[in-house]
A and B are shown apart, each in its own frame.
Chain A
Amino acid sequence: SQQGEEDPQALSIQEGENATMNCSYKTSINNLQWYRQNSGRGLVHLILIRSNEREKHSGRLRVTLDTSKKSSSLLITASRAADTASYFCATDAHQGAQKLVFGQGTRLTINP
């Protein structure tokens, strides 16, 4: 079963607006990671948040983690057309060897 589930499955917004994507998971984690995938390409790591952290920033990205609710959110501020991609959360779920379990992703479209 999927450890991470993203919501919404698809999101379409205007350029300049903020985009928020959510991820829920089921078991205890060491960390939660967000990845981005442009169409037809591999995944690119965006940001990692540890289980003892509540918020993390990287440029226009802001990630929050609520371990009590087993959920995370990714906020992209001041979106650009180049942000159009699929975004995945992944959790390690104490599986060892740094194995990750990925959600099905949110397809984000930024309209110019």
Chain B
Amino acid sequence: DVKVTQSSRYLVKRTGEKVFLECVQDMDHENMFWYRQDPGLGLRLIYFSYDVKMKEKGDIPEGYSVSREKKERFSLILESASTNQTSMYLCASSFHDRAHQPQHFGDGTRLSIL
């Protein structure tokens, strides 16, 4: 089975801190995605990557950056955390060169910014 592992289930940080959320997948997927999920807003794409060192902005990239140095790992970085970044963050992965592929999700990181 595909395994997507997010480093923390719960995280509490302070305003202004630099925050790293890590995601690792074990299925050799080319695509990796970071979403945030908020009540009433559904899932919104922050960034995605289709290859090592490649990244593209999603719908809400402001305040975030990403790093993909290895194929299996995709990191989301909050450069200077703010309270409006309190949310559930979900990582996902999928194959790139095969049509009609589902995304596989991690269990999420519930991040609170105080």
Is A64 an interface residue, CB under 8 A from the partner? no
Count of chain B residues with a beta carbon within 8 Å of a chain A beta carbon: 29
Q: B42 contacts A103, CB within 8 Å?
A: yes
B residues apposed to A, CB below 8 Å = 4, 31, 33, 35, 40-43, 45, 48, 50, 56, 58, 90, 92, 94-96, 99-108, 110
- Shortest Cβ distance from B6 into chain A, in angstroms? 8
Q: A48 contacts B108, CB within 8 Å?
A: no
Cα–Cα distance between A31 and B99 once the two chains are bound (Å): 9
Is A54 an interface residue, CB under 8 A from the partner? no
- Shortest Cβ distance from B75 into chain A, in angstroms? 17
Interface size band for A: 20 to 34
Partner of A102 from the list B43, B50, B107 (CB cut-off 8 Å) is B43
Chain B residues closer than 8 Å to A40, beta-carbon distance:
108, 110
Partner of B105 from the list A2, A42, A50 (CB cut-off 8 Å) is A42
